[in-house]
Amino acid sequence: MDIIPAIDLIDGKCVRLSQGDYNSKKIYNENPLEVAQAFEAHGIEHLHLVDLDGAKAAHIVNHKTLERLATRTRLKIDFGGGLKSDDDVRIAFESGAAQITGGSIAVKNPTVFESWLRRYGTQKIILGADVRDEKVATNGWIETSDKDLFEFVSSYMQKGVQRVICTDISKDGMLAGPSFSLYQKMIDQLPGIDLVASGGISTLEELPKLKTLGCAGVIIGKALYENRIPLKSLEHYILQQ
């Protein structure tokens, strides 16, 4: 199971939100490179980098920060937030992203998202399925659509999508534990899914539970910044996997 810390960016700074609420913003570090290098120093190989400014503006904003992290660490960076056009995706890859995540675009403009799958391949394009009460949410979680999560993911898996990041918005940033039952249901009903759990991770003990369920990866955010999961203990877990 891939261990994937998250860095969320506003104004080029490392922040966290609670349940996607921009008014709940807390700045943890004004230098995301320091944070990324600390992750790397503790054996982390992957990074989930989210452009919250981009999500709000509906186009890529923090690509310079992406470029700095990509050129000054060896982390495999998955970049998302505000990727709406072919130019946005081109800029993200040219700035050093190994993969990009499309969420809102996959809901609102599936033709464009499917063109990215064809152009870049399913190894480079991740489906972001942000969910509230099993309905897909969009635009930095400001809007909830009427799309059923399972139908939405299944339709894209039929088009070749492999990796899906599913964030339960009700859990995100709350440090109350992840949606084990939701992820179990997804793995049971969507055979072959390469599922990355996101939202609510609060203790190290939750990681082996997610791995046992069959999750391919887990994104950890606030638990790291609040030291609920110290980087040293995460390093030990990675070595033991």
What is the spatial distance between Cα 113 and Cα 71, in angstroms, rounded to a whole number? 27
CA dihedral 53, 57, 60, 66 (to 10 degrees): 0
Catalytic residue positions, numbered = 8, 130
Both tokens of 191, joined, read 């055979």
Task: For residues 72 and 140, give the distance between their C-alpha atoms in angstroms, rounded to a whole number.
Answer: 28
Residues 46 and 234: their CA atoms lie apart, in Å, by 13
Rounded Cα–Cα distance for residues 33 and 45 (Å):
14
The CA–CA distances, whole Å, from 71 to 57, 66, 87, 98 equal 25, 9, 21, 12
Which residues are paired to 195 by β-bridges?
A: 164
* Cα 35–Cα 26–Cα 225 angle in degrees, nearest 5: 40
